[in-house]
Amino acid sequence: MHDKNTSLRELDKQSLIHPYTNLATHQQSGPLIIERGDGIHVIDENGKSYIEGLAGLWSTSLGFSEPELAAAAARQFEKLPAYHSFNGMATRPMIELADRLKDMVPISDGRVFFANSGSEINDTVVKLIWYANNILGCPEKKRIITRERSYHGVTVATASMTGLTACHDGFDLPLDRFLKCMCPDYYREGLPGESEEQFSERCADDLRTLIEREGANTIAAFYADPVIAGGGVVPPPAGYFERVQKILRENHILFVADEVICGFGRTGRVFACDTYDLRPDVITVAKALSSAYLPISAAVVAPAIWEPLITGSERYGPFAHGFTYSGHPVSAAVALRTLEIYEERSIFQHVQSVAAHFAKRIDSFAGHPMVGDVRRIGLLGGIEFSPNAATKAQFDKSLGVGAFCSQQCRNHGLIVRNIGDIVAFCPPLIISELEIDQMFRRFETALAETWEMVRANA
């Protein structure tokens, strides 16, 4: 029990292990303690208000004070606060949510499995695919291909799939069975004089070569986040997925679309699969499924995967995978109400209507002397810093340009996320044009201060 005179900040340092945090420096700096939310804003313990420019963790689509979601949770808490879905048990919210999801995705006759986070659901899909291939008599078909800089989670399996070395260093990862092809970052990886289409062809050749080297008969699935968000906001270059999907079909490799970040309007369509004309065998979702108000995630899988699961029960007995909270009734009720709000308030159409203004404002930074590239789609954007946009040079890592800018943003009431020297924007979907202006004005001030720091250290 803590001393009553111990501050909350000190109690945090004495009690918590924070995820994705430099635990050494945190012992000195302590936490930023958020007390409440109001629309796209969060307010700290001292009453300071911040525009949440990353919607929490790319997730709080309806902002931080939606009363309808609180009411949906309260109603379900009163009716049935908890129950499971093992042994054929079910609740009304879980069934209705699954039915609604399967009708939203570009997968015919899909079935839905629930978990609690993006990591859990992506991990689950790997197991489902391995299990299905065993049933189908393809025990050697187990390898999973992902892209460098992709992010799919932090379980042992999904961290192995993730193409970010920070998720591997010190963890004895990645495991075998997980392969990487090149990141389709046209700005960073494109060659001088190479068009986007030519670059996409080179990316496709890299994938094709990997499949030929490993053997298509050993590769179960290709996993892709349609826009690589956690690796620096990298939309696909022109013609990329058209080529990739053709290769996958030719080699009988399943395509899994990780829509954990992009799903439910982020790109201006219901799914990024709609934006980029993708036809996956599996779609995974989380985050905006419930506006992150309660933990819930889901996978919608095609018959090629769920039908063998039924055969598997005939061979092995009960399907032995699942979580205590799979399809939790309160989480499902909140998710269902979230999807209803998207439709009732035309949220996806709103994203389309403000996306042009978002694009105009973020594009205005393209000519800044320390900006190398600006990337965006819908209400998702990234600004990559470079001392020379033409040569694509990178700043000395010791300067910590991205981290410095992110901190200056926070000082001015804007929370963003830096991924190295890339600053990411992913505001709540309810943001207005006026709030977009406010967000980028605060960033502009922070950018000017960052530029001063860079010049002072030149």
Concatenating the DSSP letter of every residue in 216-276 gives GGGEEEEEE-SSB-TTT-BPPPTTHHHHHHHHHHHTT-EEEEE-TTTTTTTTSSSSHHHHT
Distance CA 383, CA 271 (A): 23
Average pLDDT over residues 273-296: 99
Same fold, 32-65+346-456 and 69-344: no
In single-letter form, the type of residue at position 130 comes to: W
Chain centre distance of CA 200: 22
> Is-above-0.95 flag for pTM?
yes
Angle at 298 between CA 80 and CA 100, to 5 degrees: 75
Do the bridges between strand 380-385 and strand 414-415 make them parallel or antiparallel, or are there none, so unpaired? unpaired
Name beta bridge partners: 147: 181
Whose tokens are 């525009």? That residue is: 51
Which CATH superfamily groups domain 32-65+346-456? Aspartate Aminotransferase, domain 1 (3.90.1150.10)
Band the pLDDT of 458: cuts 50, 70, 90: confident
**For residue 458, what is the DSSP state?**
-
| Residue 64 burial (CB count, 10 A) | 21
Write out the two tokens for 195. 């068009």
Q: Does the pLDDT value for residue 210 go beyond 60?
A: yes
Contacts of 61 (CB under 8 A, 6+ apart): 55, 264, 265, 266, 287, 288, 291, 292, 338, 347, 428, 429, 430
pLDDT in tens, 318-368: 999 999 999 999 999 999 999 999 999 999 999 999 999 999 999 999 999
Q: What integer pLDDT is reported at residue 2 of this predicted model? A: 60
Whose tokens are 């799979």? That residue is: 326
Domain 69-344 classification at class level? alpha beta
Q: Does the pLDDT value for residue 239 go beyond 90?
A: yes
Q: Does the pLDDT value for residue 258 go beyond 80?
A: yes
pLDDT in tens, 20-79: 999 999 999 999 999 999 999 999 999 999 999 999 999 999 999 999 999 999 999 999
Name beta bridge partners: 42: 37, 50
Cis ω on the peptide bond leading into residue 81 (within 30° of 0)? no
Q: Residue ranges per domain, the chain?
A: 32-65+346-456, 69-344
Alpha-carbon dihedral 402, 403, 405, 406, rounded to 10 degrees: 110
In 3D, which of 54, 62, 53, 68 has the Cα closest to residue 289?
Answer: 62
In 23-134, which ranges are E strands? 34-38, 41-44, 49-52, 111-115
